[in-house]
């Protein structure tokens, strides 16, 4: 009897449990159907009962329960609580969507969960304590949300956690001690929050911590020794906190450290000599602290060191000559310390050195003849020291230099004529506040890219040579407080300077100091004054672009760091030497039904072949890429990426993704992206009809010249509409030109290069980007002075495109004459006694009376757009209206 009961009980138990399971099976299917409905998931074929094959769904081996759910990057919003009913889930990725509200407490019921990624959403309020019940969690990623409150102590139960990412939220309170008790923790990132208090002194003590990134918080107290205890650390980022105390010598135990960034804290003491034990160190940044003592020569053992930044500390002593061994060193930044002695010759010969900033120290040596014997140097910043002696003739070897700052030193002798060899000098040449004497060399006039020249406060004598008029890019000059004599040459940048730029000289005369030099022939000056040479403006902007290009080094370093972080996070390792194939770090196709057709490797390969090159833009090069599927892509390779703007790759990816959703018939949007090594590729549809520039100016190649004004007008309206839409969504285009307008098979125009405008968003204002302003001939005159990209600036550039359409002429052309561009040429027509008809493309305007009338109306709009006063230019929306009215 008892036996029977037992059997029955067992049987019943089995039955009921199998019934339970069956119920669960039905449930998971039913829940997925509800999820599909809630999130409007069109990619799930809900009629197909085999839900395990739906995209993003992974099932248990017996195909009955959902174990994996990947709904990342779908732009989803809605009630995520539903998902918590998929009780067998082990892996849940909801990253990069638009989910908002609180993280559901019910997620705490997903007890089998090993990976939970909710990053890049808009989740708000506090982290639910229920997550602490997810005992099996290995990876928790809550970063890039709006989470607030403290990191709850209840999460202490997450003993298996290996990766813990909570960066870029609004968390406060301190880092709980239990994080230090996580024995499996490999990566912990909590940067960009409001965390305060000490870093727990047990952090990393029992785990194999590889990546610790806590930058931009309010953390105080010392850098705990514990983080070096297990000797596995690879990347340490603590920048921008309030950390005190000194750098523990045990840092030297971490042989695998590649990047240490501890700048902008309140650290004191010496840099431990053990730093030399970290032979793989590539990046050491400890600027803006209170560190002191000597700069340890042991850095020289870190043969891969690429950047060393110890600026704005209290270091004294000499610059170790051993640094000459650092053959990979690109940037050595030691400004704002108390270093003395010589500028070591060995350092100057580091063959990859790009930037040497020793300004604001007490260096009391001379400038060695070996200067620039390696010619990579672009920035040589030595101002505010006690440098003595003459400027060596060898300065002429510095042909790559963009900026030379030697102001406020004790240099003697004269300015060597070889200075004119530094043809790339653009940003500044500053020799002010020294003891230089003698004549100004004529050769200065060869520095035609130089924007700022400061020779003030020396004992220079003689005339200002007329040859200095060769400095076509000059906008800032200062010759004050010297012994100069004679007339100031008639040269716009001189006369445009404040008269203080010429004060304190022995006997200078003429504008801007005095109207004339007595008997002068200066009446012509006034006229010349107004003819601000457009060339100058162009050149200035050109220099700006070079400045931009030169931030590349830093960017590369930054990307490198990102890669190391990725690697440390357990992601893809950056090496695939065996195949020689670049390793794709990240990539995505935003359009579901194109995913199959696009092959990342083929796209990358296409960009390596010269013959695939379609065009070279200001910021990018475009390649044609034929996919194995037969699809043709246009692949844009970004030339360089700004470190501060693209704060990290993920943000950039998010930006691109957002742009992919900007739908307007006249805008080209990205359909995907690929990141490999330090390169970012943006994928676009391929438009075989080429660019508007080709259509207008290369009629022989792709297009036969057809006098077709209506097509041109509709192109003009389309471009205007695209730009009006961009302005409507608060995006300022950085590079409007006919070369960035593509034509589809119906000659519908599509404005491109929008990503650049967004990725390098100038409204976020950084020095490196404010100077970037687009293509020659399209740059509004005010950019030269304001260095600020604006909506009215866009209107100007659009006006140039419209003029191109009307005149079939290039924006800059030798034919217009010296310093005259298309805008000036058109504006100058009345003065030359030409009628507007003589400006328009006669092949079009003579076809019919109606066309001519419309073209004249469009010309009026173009002139409004290119008004030299930004405020007088119409808004883009108004431009669209005016153009549409033309045909009505």
Q: Contact positions toward ligand NAG, by CB under 6 A?
A: 21, 45, 47, 60, 62, 64-65, 79, 81-82, 95-96, 105-106, 109, 117, 119-120, 139, 141, 156, 163, 165, 177-178, 181, 187, 252, 273-274, 276-277, 279-280, 298, 303-304, 340-341, 364, 569, 650
How wide is the angle at C-alpha 154 spanned by C-alphas 148 and 159, nearest 5°? 115
3-state secondary structure of 275: helix
- Whose Cβ is closer to ligand NAG: residue 421's or residue 569's? 569
Backbone angles phi, psi at 549, to 5 degrees: -60, -30
Residue 187 CB, shortest distance to ligand NAG, in Å, is 6
Which residues, listed in sequence order, are joined to residue 462 by a DSSP beta bridge?
Answer: 484
Which tokens sit at 452? 């700022």
Measure the CA–CA gap between 520 and 274, rounded to whole angstroms.
70
Measure the CA–CA gap between 171 and 283, rounded to whole angstroms.
28
Residue 587 CB, shortest distance to ligand NAG, in Å, is 13
Question: How do beta strands 187-189 and 163-165 pair?
Answer: parallel
Q: How many CB atoms lie within 10 A of CB 396?
A: 17
DSSP 667: B
- Whose Cβ is closer to ligand NAG: residue 252's or residue 777's? 252
Among candidates 213, 212, 245, 208, which has minimal Cα distance to 229? Answer: 208
Measure the CA–CA gap between 235 and 568, rounded to whole angstroms.
8
End-to-end CA distance of the chain: 99
Residue 458 CB, shortest distance to ligand NAG, in Å, is 21
Residue 34 CB, shortest distance to ligand NAG, in Å, is 8
Sign of the Cα pseudo-torsion (854, 860, 861, 862, in order): positive
- Element of type H or E holding 806: helix 791-807
Q: Cβ distance 445 to 468 under 8 Å?
A: yes
Measure the CA–CA gap between 855 and 713, rounded to whole angstroms.
9
Residue 310 CB, shortest distance to ligand NAG, in Å, is 18
How wide is the angle at C-alpha 289 spanned by C-alphas 285 and 292, nearest 5°? 95
- Whose Cβ is closer to ligand NAG: residue 62's or residue 663's? 62
Q: Cβ distance 393 to 371 under 8 Å?
A: no
Residue 810: is the preceding peptide bond cis (ω within 30°)? no
Say how far residue 344 (Cα) sits from the centre of its chain.
Answer: 33
- Whose Cβ is closer to ligand NAG: residue 82's or residue 467's? 82
Burial (CB count within 10 angstroms: exposed 0-12, middle 13-18, buried 19+), residue 36: middle
- Whose Cβ is closer to ligand NAG: residue 244's or residue 250's? 250
Measure the CA–CA gap between 212 and 243, rounded to whole angstroms.
15
Measure the CA–CA gap between 552 and 88, rounded to whole angstroms.
48
- Whose Cβ is closer to ligand NAG: residue 276's or residue 465's? 276
- Whose Cβ is closer to ligand NAG: residue 342's or residue 744's? 342
Say how far residue 491 (Cα) sits from the centre of its chain.
Answer: 37
Which tokens sit at 392? 């060596």
- Whose Cβ is closer to ligand NAG: residue 21's or residue 507's? 21
Measure the CA–CA gap between 164 and 370, rounded to whole angstroms.
50
- Whose Cβ is closer to ligand NAG: residue 593's or residue 663's? 593
Residue 589 CB, shortest distance to ligand NAG, in Å, is 16
Burial (CB count within 10 angstroms: exposed 0-12, middle 13-18, buried 19+), residue 880: buried
Residue 236 CB, shortest distance to ligand NAG, in Å, is 16
Residue 872 CB, shortest distance to ligand NAG, in Å, is 47
How wide is the angle at C-alpha 93 spanned by C-alphas 90 and 97, nearest 5°? 155
Residue 336 CB, shortest distance to ligand NAG, in Å, is 17
3-state secondary structure of 165: strand
- Whose Cβ is closer to ligand NAG: residue 190's or residue 754's? 190
Among candidates 577, 595, 603, 573, which has minimal Cα distance to 674? Answer: 603
- Whose Cβ is closer to ligand NAG: residue 276's or residue 462's? 276
- Whose Cβ is closer to ligand NAG: residue 106's or residue 856's? 106
Residue 298 CB, shortest distance to ligand NAG, in Å, is 5
3-state secondary structure of 430: strand
Q: Cβ distance 544 to 734 under 8 Å?
A: no
H helical segments located in 504-577:
523-530, 534-550, 552-568
Question: 305-328: buried (b, 16+ CB within 10 Å) or exposed (e) per residue?
Answer: bbbbbbbbbebebbbbebbbbbee
Q: Cβ distance 45 to 54 under 8 Å?
A: yes
Catalytic annotation, residues: 735
Measure the CA–CA gap between 536 and 528, rounded to whole angstroms.
14
- Whose Cβ is closer to ligand NAG: residue 361's or residue 505's? 361
Residue 242 CB, shortest distance to ligand NAG, in Å, is 24
Measure the CA–CA gap between 345 and 366, rounded to whole angstroms.
10
DSSP 249: G
Among candidates 235, 239, 267, which has minimal Cα distance to 251? Answer: 235
């Amino acid at each position: 009897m008892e036996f029977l009961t037992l059997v029955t009980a067992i049987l019943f138990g089995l039955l009921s449990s199998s019934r339970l399971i069956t119920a669960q099976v039905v449930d998971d299917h039913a829940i997925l159907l509800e999820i599909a409905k809630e999130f409007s998931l069109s990619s799930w074929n809900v009629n197909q009962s085999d839900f395990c094959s739906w995209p993003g769904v992974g099932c248990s081996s017996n195909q009955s329960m959902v174990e994996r759910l990947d709904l990342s990057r779908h732009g989803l919003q809605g009630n995520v609580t539903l998902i918590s009913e998929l009780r067998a889930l082990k892996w849940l990725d909801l990253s990069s969507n638009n989910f908002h509200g609180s993280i559901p407490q019910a997620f705490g019921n997903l007890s089998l969960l090993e990976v939970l990624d909710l990053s890049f959403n808009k989740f708000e309020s506090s982290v639910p304590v229920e997550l602490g019940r997810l005992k099996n969690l290995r990876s928790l990623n809550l970063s890039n949300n709006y989470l607030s409150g403290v990191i709850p102590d209840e999460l202490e139960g997450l003993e298996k956690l290996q990766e813990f990412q909570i960066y870029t939220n609004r968390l406060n309170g301190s880092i709980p001690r239990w994080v230090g008790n996580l024995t499996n923790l490999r990566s912990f990132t909590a940067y960009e929050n409001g965390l305060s208090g000490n870093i727990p002194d047990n952090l990393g003590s029992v785990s194999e911590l590889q990546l610790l990134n806590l930058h931009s918080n309010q953390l105080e107290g010392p850098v705990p020794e514990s983080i070096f205890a297990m000797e596995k650390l690879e990347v340490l980022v603590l920048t921008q906190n309030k950390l005190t105390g000194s750098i523990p010598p045990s840092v030297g135990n971490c042989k695998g450290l590649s990047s240490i960034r501890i700048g902008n804290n309140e650290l004191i003491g010496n840099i431990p000599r053990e730093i030399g034990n970290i032979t793989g160190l590539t990046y050491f940044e400890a600027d803006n602290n209170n560190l002191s003592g000597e700069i340890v020569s042991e850095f020289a053992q870190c043969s891969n060191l690429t950047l060393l930044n110890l600026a704005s500390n209290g270091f004294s002593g000499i610059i170790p000559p051993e640094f000459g061994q650092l053959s990979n060193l690109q940037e050595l930044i030691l400004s704002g310390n108390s270093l003395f002695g010589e500028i070591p010759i060995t350092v100057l010969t580091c063959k990859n050195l790009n930037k040497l900033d020793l300004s604001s120290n007490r260096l009391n040596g001379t400038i060695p003849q070996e200067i620039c014997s390696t010619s990579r140097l672009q920035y040589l910043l030595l101002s505010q020291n006690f440098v003595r002696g003459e400027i060596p003739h060898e300065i002429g070897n510095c042909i790559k230099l963009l900026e030379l700052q030697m102001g406020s030193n004790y240099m003697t002798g004269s300015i060597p004529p070889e200075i004119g060899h530094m043809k790339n000098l653009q940003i500044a040449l500053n020799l002010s506040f020294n003891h230089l004497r003698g004549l100004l060399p004529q050769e200065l006039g060869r520095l035609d890219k130089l924007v700022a020249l400061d020779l003030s406060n020396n004992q220079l004598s003689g005339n200002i040579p007329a040859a200095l008029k060769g400095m076509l890019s000059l906008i800032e000059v200062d010759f004050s407080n010297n012994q100069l004599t004679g007339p100031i040459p008639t040269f716009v940048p001189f006369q445009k300077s404040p008269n203080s730029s010429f004060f304190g000289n022995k006997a200078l005369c003429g504008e801007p100091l005095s109207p004339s030099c007595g008997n002068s022939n200066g009446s012509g000056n006034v006229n010349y004054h107004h003819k601000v040479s457009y060339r100058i403006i162009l050149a200035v902007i050109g220099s700006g672009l070079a400045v931009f290009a030169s931030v590349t080094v830093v960017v590369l370093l930054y990307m490198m760091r990102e890669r190391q972080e990725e690697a440390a996070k357990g992601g893809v390792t950056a090496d695939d030497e065996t195949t020689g194939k670049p390793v794709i770090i990240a990539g995505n196709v935003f359009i579901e039904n194109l995913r199959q057709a696009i092959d990342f490797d083929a796209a990358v390969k296409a960009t390596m072949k010269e013959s695939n090159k379609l065009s070279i833009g200001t910021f990018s090069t475009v390649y044609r890429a034929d996919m194995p599927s037969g699809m043709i892509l246009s692949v844009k390779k970004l030339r360089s990426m700004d470190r501060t703007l693209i704060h990290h790759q993920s943000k950039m990816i998010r930006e691109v993704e957002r742009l992919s959703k900007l739908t307007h018939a006249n805008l080209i949007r990205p359909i995907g992206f690929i990141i490999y090594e330090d390169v970012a590729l943006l994928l676009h549809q391929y438009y075989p009809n080429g660019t508007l520039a080709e259509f207008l100016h290369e009629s022989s190649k792709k297009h036969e010249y057809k006098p077709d004004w209506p097509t041109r007008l509709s192109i003009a309206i389309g471009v205007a509409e695209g730009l009006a839409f961009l302005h409507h969504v608060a995006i300022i285009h950085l590079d409007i030109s006919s070369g960035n307008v593509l034509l589809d098979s119906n000659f519908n125009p599509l404005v491109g290069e929008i990503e650049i405008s967004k990725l390098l968003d100038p409204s976020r204002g950084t020095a490196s980007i404010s100077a970037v302003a687009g293509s020659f001939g399209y740059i509004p005159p005010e950019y030269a002075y304001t260095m600020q990209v604006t909506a009215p600036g866009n209107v100007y550039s659009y006006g140039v495109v419209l003029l191109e359409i009307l005149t079939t002429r290039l924006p800059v052309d030798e034919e217009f004459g010296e310093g005259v561009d298309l805008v000036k040429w058109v504006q100058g027509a009345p003065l030359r006694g030409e009628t507007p008809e003589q400006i328009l493309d006669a092949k079009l305007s003579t076809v019919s009376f109606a066309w001519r009338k419309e073209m004249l109306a469009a010309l009026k709009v173009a002139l409004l757009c290119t008004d030299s006063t930004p405020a007088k230019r119409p808004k883009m929306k108004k431009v669209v209206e005016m153009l549409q009215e033309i045909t009505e």
